[in-house]
Chains A and B, each alone.
Chain A
């Protein structure tokens, strides 16, 4: 009789036997315009003589809408509107009144949650279960949380007097479009600043729906201005002389350009940049839970997460077991139509990102790492990438150093806690890390030694508006969320 393992008894790989029946989220109630311009000074500005571009559904490659591309003149109009709104209305309004406007936005996001979730998934490619259960509820929660601060700022920082800064210029990424807008807009409004914000060019639609909400909520014209465009538009915001504060979430490469651009201008700057998070699994960890944490850490949102646990550090003596269980778990992941409620991994956000992932995966194979992808059928159209894990990775491999921003995990091993700490910190980034162990003292010791702004102990990829988020080292500076998330938008004396 062959060797029997307990794990084989528990194997129930339904995916091999039956397909899930389709569970499509309906889209018939979604009513998008053919084209979107900007939202400036309380007016929806049509696509005019400026350049425009298409935003597409990355799961089908079909166009969703034409989007205007703001030039310097348009950005200047938006900044002027924000300045006027700051000087005449918003900076003078009592905090308790500002709060009520922000509460209105929160409520309206909840009211329109399903519509926002569907559009988020159509425009960005993320699974509907994530946009519905994570992105949109968290966006609403963020507005709720910061609304409450608007009239309590005097209690936030003991002994200090606080003041708003003026006009905030904000540039956000495509991985959590509405949520990132909420992270930027909510604290800026609560602290009494006015805003010019640019959504990412591949995911502008929920920002335009947010503009409609802001309009319905009756915010004074010019308090929030949303301009669409690409990199040049973002540069025009960052470089505008009358912007007092710049907040950017995106790549470290662009973050450095922005840091140089604002040097000597006196603009206050916060950067939330890239990461190469280590997810550390010790041999005393609950392995099955850890495997769930690994999957959540790297495959959540197709791995388009700056704090993704993209480097798995496994203690050497459990490497085989963890990888075996991980591979089995990966084979149950449903990759495909983001609008299907069963889908775990949706579409890669854009062709450009797909190609970047493919290029880095090829480099992993070229450099000698061992690639594994479960057999799964990918849709014929759209940008889909099978979940991927690399073993036999060395710290010098590109896939161990560079941010892939896709569903690709690089596995390294370690023997001692000291080695795990060293390897985890061996990167210019410092955004997030995970630690899996059953021993509390070890967890706290490692958490203290890791150079990262967020540490998830026996969990991963958890977010909350009351919890500060942001990086060490080249992952940026400043925090978003919590009382600390007020600091970037205030002068504290």
Chain B
């Protein structure tokens, strides 16, 4: 057993990189953003993701989509559950990070981690239920069996909330991946390192590579590239500005992308009940209706 000694030990800085395709590459651009704690102390030189990083992440998300969408809903549910377990067992690290880096109080940090864990569990439970709630068998007036099911839209970009470094990120992808979408999350706020800490949770939750990709950087820098990317099927936007609503909407029209601007809960309180809903799954599903004749 190690004995405590009174030494001035120098701690080891952690390098925070991007999370793309189940790996942690540095940004191809070689650029960085220096992140500081709320008190101005050095945290890390964080990767400043480029448009090329975004394109690489879309490639990863596209190649992951077929497999993720084809997983059984039960399996997707298990994997979200696993994320919740992983976060629970590492909760102190996140509470510490929220307090030290982002200036949370002890109680607020605990509340954000609690909510993030519970939200993952909650959406995980929807994976094998939302199809029943939002699908239908349709009583057509002819001898046909007719039913409607929701399916994932495909590859999505999500612009994560500008607050709540942990819970905001969870809130921005959980309702999207439940149905089988894959996601490239753009994280742009003062505590991006926490998103990359969370990538490590994803990395050990049996989540297939490429289902969630996390880029730290600036929204403005990649924004027009997202709307114009032909292999992005939809854009989920949190905490959108008026200009973003307009510019994203215009760019998205080139390929008739689905765009949804999620409401920020009152007071920016992402722990609120209104910040999670099965109806938050719906903007990024496609309803497929199938007909078949009935007879001998």
Contacts and interface: CB of A to CB of B under 8 A. Distances in A.
Interface stretch (A107-115, A335-343, A447-455): A447-455
B249 A468 contact: no
Given A263-B250, A263-B253, A454 B133 contact: no
A252 B256 contact: yes
Given A459-B292, A468-B289, A472-B286, A263 B141 contact: no
Interface stretch (B42-50, B142-150, B264-272): B142-150
B30 interface: no
16 contacts: A256-B256, A259-B252, A263-B253, A264-B250, A430-B286, A454-B288, A464-B138, A467-B291, A468-B289, A470-B287, A472-B288, A473-B233, A474-B255, A477-B256, A477-B258, A477-B286
Interface string B114-154: 00000000000000000001001011111010101000000
Contacts of B252: 259, 263
Contacts, number: 120
A455 B248 CA distance: 31
A13 interface: no
A432 to B, nearest CB: 9
A262 B246 CA distance: 8
Interface of B: 133, 136, 138-142, 144, 146, 148, 233, 242-243, 245-250, 252-256, 258, 277-279, 282, 286-293
Contact of B141 (A252, A454, A464): A464
B202 to A, nearest CB: 27
A5 B251 CA distance: 58
B289 A255 contact: no
B291 A456 contact: yes
B253 A260 contact: yes
DSSP majority for the B interface?
Answer: mixed
A273 interface: yes
Given A141-B141, A466-B140, A157 B279 contact: yes
Given A252-B256, A487-B282, 17 more contacts: A141-B141, A157-B279, A160-B277, A263-B249, A263-B250, A264-B250, A454-B289, A455-B291, A458-B292, A466-B138, A466-B146, A468-B136, A469-B289, A472-B286, A474-B256, A482-B138, A484-B148
A428 interface: yes
Contacts of A456: 290-291
Contacts of A457: 290-293
Nearest to A160: B279
A378 interface: no
B136 A455 contact: no
Contacts of B253: 256-257, 259-260, 263
Contacts of B148: 467-468, 482, 484
A492 B279 CA distance: 8
Given A252-B256, A271-B256, A467 B249 contact: no
Nearest to A462: B291
B246 A467 contact: no
A467 B146 contact: yes
A464 B147 CA distance: 12
Contacts of B142: 462, 464
A262 B249 contact: yes
Nearest to A464: B140
A440 to B, nearest CB: 9
Given A466-B138, A477-B256, A492-B279, A260 B290 contact: no
A388 to B, nearest CB: 27
B245 A263 contact: yes
A162 B254 CA distance: 31
B288 A453 contact: yes
Interface in A420-465: 428, 430, 443, 447, 451-459, 462, 464
Contacts of A467: 138, 140, 146, 148, 289, 291
B254 A256 contact: yes
A451 B256 CA distance: 15
